[in-house]
Structure 1
């Protein structure tokens, strides 16, 4: 059967579908007869409801189902025959003027675009690298020591200093009025570790147990509490208790407490280095992958299917609602979320997905089973029982599909880096890690 496809816009197409009325009627009758064998209605025994009653009760809904099924089937058969790559769902409307004994429908839809990728040898990519230094290991050990420190009462008359744990009562006022979150009793924090704003720590530093002090505090403009951000407050603080922190020594007992098998300081440092190198590799991969994807987008030319972008916007809004719900917000389904907030990112995702798919297809960059296996094993290596993590991934096709997508992205990254003009950039460990002491 010849399929006539009309071009409406860059990616928008239209085709007319026709179906014999007898085909629709025959399928409706068959479904109603099948339904009559099991339907239950008051006053009739099961399977004994007259067809006329079944027709009256269910005829419209069954006809609607049949029309959807048959028209949908006819559309996808026609699309396959015309070798069209349909993007999203078609909009199908019944058309007047069909030949006798026929029903006609117009199907308006979008097709996936042709993706043109320019010569990748002209792409410029900055590839980052970084090393794990002994200083980074030392800082991580310091973090681990702080996490396991103990506190003991300071001698009477001692003044609070950095590293001490203080217990305070405090109350703040803005323009003479108390404010939410500005008052606490028996509040504990360690001086000098940035848990409190600098003015607060400066005020407590040097105080002795039993002393009280008033001081001004200016909340930063970007302070998380919007009600007080950018405002100035007056605080009164009373020091109720003062404890000195004691860090554990770095020895075999410390290594053993951290679960290091050999329980030696050398084994501890080797274990930390291994973990940091794994994190460095993860962050470098993410950074370099981002650079590759940006370069790919710059070298790609394509039109975007509106249906695909709209579907991505809907997914992002649904994800945002789920996140808000997980945070405890109620009635998130009624919360108005403007689509335009997500559209730029949705367009980027769709564009990137189409470009990557084209590159994978053209260069056979699909994920091989041994690559997927290696990726799963690498991800599992940081856990106490890696074999259980491996089973966890292989037990769920969706989880395994996520790993497959990661491998494909890695393949694309390596492929593009292998062709592009690459500039190597050595990063300092702290710059790569974002100056965060979260490695412990």
Structure 2
């Protein structure tokens, strides 16, 4: 077998194969003889059909079968012998496929890029320094109270923070528009769930009152036919409800897993969870900056096969997130909604893999268990979580990958200039969230480019 490899781009290879005619024809002849032993044709006993008849009737199909097997087998052998590292499946195309002639075929494939990491030295990384204060703790306890609040009807006019039960219908001019009406809708005033200006105009309304509300839809409103349009809503207020917050008592505390209802234990547990959340926010913010710097310093080509795999994974994730059901055909979702994010993820994955490889990073069983124990602290039955993870090789592999990624980020951080910035708990969470948004917007700008 003759093999030649042509480099058509940094990550694309074109491999040409030539298999001697005698080898192919012998394999076809042997397969035809095996076929002849088992076929039945009218007028012939089983296994007694003349070879001339077998060749005439089955020759093309048998040759296609043999040639397909040969091409796959020779391809697998060649990628090993030629030290090729394919990313995805090849496109294999026969060029010469005739009896008596050497078989020629071409395999076009993508390979993993060879990465020579460029340093991120000089990159400035802002690392939040956060301490959960007593004021932060009090605010979180209030948030938990509000999340568990009850609503009770009041006789007074609606105030911001109240819940109103309303019927409404929206009009563009004199015509009602689709999706602009509802009955018995509960709306918390000040929640920002409705169009800007809508909730404000219901402050002061009383049960039984009818109001006409005028608003303008935002220019970037998701329904294009409504974007920027002036609209009128006719609203009927059925009830005004005030919020009643629960007391921080034994019954309230037990809802959060503190079985003895002790208030100090509860506050300590809340603060512990907030500290863990703050650490995650800090780590994520630092990681975002490091990975962005890594991508900018290493603009490597990305195999389209890997991008498509990641795109499909993002589609499945989106379908699950929006509750589209397990039977939903994710191919209905357009690739362009996910392709840039997928490309970014693949690029980062390839670069981090090289950081891990070049620094010979690894994670021991003890480190994996410690990470699992850290994750398990978030659950009411941590030992069950630990046993579940440690008894599942796939989950352990995922945890190991997360540890290696953390170690890789720490290695990269050694090259950067790190500036500690004091932040409040809320500022740290907001900074991490803003970093996520900037990353998504950056991917969107890449798509435009």
What secondary structure does 2:218 align onto?
coil
Q: Give, in whole Å, the separation in 1 of the partners of 2:420 and 2:26.
A: 69
Task: Verify the 8 A CA contact 1:317 1:337 in the aligned structure 2.
Answer: no
Candidates 205, 210, 222, aligned match of 2:220: 222
What secondary structure does 2:430 align onto?
coil
Q: Which residue of 2 aligns with 1:352?
A: 348
**Cα offset, 1:184, TM superposition:** 2.6
Q: Give, in whole Å, the separation in 2 of the partners of 1:191 and 1:110.
A: 56
**Cα offset, 1:14, TM superposition:** 4.2
**Cα offset, 1:25, TM superposition:** 4.5
The answer as to 2:402 corresponding to 1:406 is yes
Q: Deviations over 1:188-210 (max 9, x none)?
A: 22334434445333332222332
Distance 1:151 1:271, change over 3 A: same
What secondary structure does 1:199 align onto?
coil
Distance 1:171 1:313, change over 3 A: same
Q: Which residue of 2 aligns with 1:242?
A: 240
The answer as to 2:307 corresponding to 1:283 is no
**Cα offset, 1:227, TM superposition:** 3.6
Q: Which residue of 2 aligns with 1:273?
A: 271
Q: Which residue of 1 aligns with 2:129?
A: 129
Report the TM-score when normalising by structure 2: 0.79
Q: Give, in whole Å, the separation in 1 of the partners of 2:225 and 2:215.
A: 15
Task: Verify the 8 A CA contact 2:94 2:104 in the aligned structure 1.
Answer: yes
Distance 1:351 1:168, change over 3 A: closer
What secondary structure does 1:200 align onto?
coil
Report the TM-score when normalising by structure 1: 0.80
Moved more, 237-246 or 311-320: 311-320
Distance 1:301 1:188, change over 3 A: closer
Q: Give, in whole Å, the separation in 2 of the partners of 1:49 and 1:130.
A: 86
Q: Deviations over 1:98-153 (max 9, x none)?
A: 99774344444444333222345444333333232222222222222122222333
Q: Deviations over 1:412-431 (max 9, x none)?
A: 01111133322223333222
Q: Which residue of 1 aligns with 2:197?
A: 199
Candidates 160, 176, 181, aligned match of 1:162: 160
RMSD: 4.0
Moved more, 9-18 or 415-424: 9-18
Q: Which residue of 1 aligns with 2:170?
A: 172
The answer as to 2:387 corresponding to 1:379 is no
The answer as to 2:147 corresponding to 1:150 is no
Task: Verify the 8 A CA contact 1:16 1:105 in the aligned structure 2.
Answer: yes
Task: Verify the 8 A CA contact 2:92 2:108 in the aligned structure 1.
Answer: yes
Distance 1:126 1:36, change over 3 A: farther
Aligned length: 430
Q: Give, in whole Å, the separation in 2 of the partners of 1:51 and 1:25.
A: 18
Q: Which residue of 2 aligns with 1:185?
A: 183
Q: Give, in whole Å, the separation in 1 of the partners of 2:87 and 2:202.
A: 63
Q: Deviations over 1:346-375 (max 9, x none)?
A: 443343333222221111123333333333
What secondary structure does 1:433 align onto?
helix
Q: Which residue of 2 aligns with 1:363?
A: 359
Q: Which residue of 2 aligns with 1:262?
A: 260
Candidates 430, 433, 437, aligned match of 1:434: 430
